Structure 1
Amino acid sequence: MKNTINCLIVDDEPMAREILEGHLKKIESVVVVGSCKNAVEAFNMLSSQNIDLIFLDINMPEISGLSFAKSINKKIKVIFTTAYREYAIDGFDLRAVDYLLKPISFERLLQSISKYHHEHIVPRQSPQVNLNPEKSDFIFVRSERKMIKINFSDLDYIESLSDYLKLYTNNKVIVTRETISSIEAKLPKNDFLRVHRSYIVAINKIESFTQEFIEIKKKAIPISRTYKNDVKLRLDNV
């Protein structure tokens, strides 16, 4: 079964295309099928190649990335790349997988690929296996040499500290040696929200929020710039 991601890069800046392609070639599951300097070239590439994911610059001459994204097959997913933060909301309105602000770091790019993988490849590969947290109401995590059951309804927020996590529940704090990305993939996407590289929160436990912080049980949890647009989009539509 197909487990690679066929990618197309569309950006009018040669250096931006070169940097992004260099990053992507380091990721084993990614195949860079082509690199285009404008939407016209990209249209021609889509007609002859099987593309899963497009890294698409927004501010391009003649045809903008936003206009191009509206015109393509909805099965082809888009990660927007741009130097202009103000376009982010428009990008997410088009159901983009992610929005990357230039200059794009390899670490941030990996987060986007991981997000695409969990949303579009894993469900496609294993539909017969009931591992979808949306259909369960708990998970198990390893702590103190045993597996501990955590009900999603009891979980307030998760904090990443170096090489371990703290899971804050209604009545206790559970410490586990697991990455925040791996635990995020196990949580129901409708109920939990990544707000920072070090924090995931339960949406129904949020008591108040600003552009910079979310408050849960008198704990001020920071919202990082990386996740700010996604947080705003989710909370504005709750």
Structure 2
Amino acid sequence: MKPNPISCIVVDDEPMALQLIEGYVLKTPFLVLKEKCESALEALTFMENEPVDLIFLDIQMPDLTGIDLSKLISKKTRVIFTTAFSEYALEGFKVEALDYLLKPFDYAEFLSAANKAKDWFALVRGKTQKAATKDKEFLFVKSDYKQLKIYLDNVLYFEGLKDYIKIWLKDRPRPILTLMSLKSLQEELPPDKFMRIHRSFIVSLEAIDVIERSQIIIGDQRITVSENYKPEFLAYIAKNSLD
């Protein structure tokens, strides 16, 4: 899966270092360079109008040091320090920098630090996405040239048919048909309320009436729990069973 881009700026008062790090950023696919700044004050002014995810930040600069700048910016913006002075490492740790590159460093060292940033943002963005999904109460789905609002509490189960999905609801005798894959739908559903139990079925856990051997019963419908999905389903049963 292609990682989401990380917007960044480079801040350094040495023109050669600024040019070198700029080149490293431009050759790294998941980094997007927004600006290069020759001072911390210039960077601070830029970020007032355009926040970024990450700063490659020199420490020893006139007027305002990199350490000072790191204390003034948003906590959402992470820092990788780039400096020729190893004695600043402890201060970098105190301001929770993602990494600390000691000049001169090559592209392999730069890429290692950038990958730490990529992993950090993937983790944070993943948690945010899961939280948003967990709180979701409804979906809009396209059916018959209309966007229909489907409340998730009203769903019994989703049935996949090649490129289409049947959405079976509590208050409708006939399903809603929409062009979508079960895989893409599953990513939008709260995992504490819905579970995929078969290549062709995602069920509402609250709608299950009976579990009988390797089948679940929802109303008049029997759905087999396939072998690929059985371990997760059995774990769910164990977690919610009294015996």
Q: TM-score, normalised by structure 2?
A: 0.50
Shift, 1:87, TM fit: 0.6
The 8 Å contact of residues 3 and 30 in structure 2, kept in 1 or not, is answered as: no
Equivalent-residue separation in structure 1 for 2:93 and 2:34 (angstroms): 24
Question: Match of 2:16, as an amino acid?
Answer: M
CA distance in 2 between counterparts of 1:25 and 1:97 reads 20
In structure 2, how many angstroms separate the alpha carbons of the residues matched to 1:39 and 1:50?
14
Q: Please state how far the C-alpha of 1:123 moved relative to its aligned partner.
A: 4.0
> CA separation in 1, counterparts of 2:63 and 2:115?
32
1:121 alignment partner in structure 2: 122
Match of 2:68, SS? helix
Quick check: 1:38 aligned with 2:39? Answer: yes
Q: Hey, what does 1:73 align to over in structure 2? A: 74
**CA-CA distance at 1:70 after TM superposition:** 0.7
Distance 2:26 2:89 in 1: 26
Contiguous gaps of at least 5 residues in structure 1: 130-238
1:27 and 1:115 map into 2 onto residues whose CA distance is: 13
How far apart are the structure 1 equivalents of 2:104 and 2:84?
7
- Indicate the SS of the match to 1:117: helix
Q: Which residue of structure 2 aligns with residue 92 of structure 1? A: 93
Query: Corresponding residue for 2:178?
Result: none
Number of the residue aligned with 2:60: 59
CA contact (8 A) 2:80 2:99 kept: yes
Q: How many residues align?
A: 129
Which residue number corresponds to residue 12 of structure 2? 11
Equivalent AA in structure 1 for residue 114 of structure 2: I
Structure 1 residue ranges, 4+ long, deviating more than 2 angstroms after superposition = 125-129
- Residue 38 of structure 1: how far off its partner (Å): 0.6
Among the aligned pairs, what percent are the same residue? 41
CA distance in structure 2 between the partners assigned to 1:31 and 1:119 by the alignment: 16
Gaps of 5+ in 2: 132-243
Q: Matched residues in 2 for 1:45 and 1:123: separation?
A: 24
Partner of 1:159: none
| Letter of the structure 2 residue corresponding to residue 55 of structure 1 | F
Q: CA deviation at 1:43?
A: 1.1
Q: Deviations over 1:39-63 (max 9, x none)?
A: 1110111012130000110000111
Distance of 2:123 and 2:4 partners within structure 1: 9
TM norm structure 1? 0.51
How far 1:9 moved relative to its partner? 0.6
Looking at structure 1, the residues matched to 121 and 5 of structure 2 have their Cα atoms a distance apart, in angstroms, of: 11
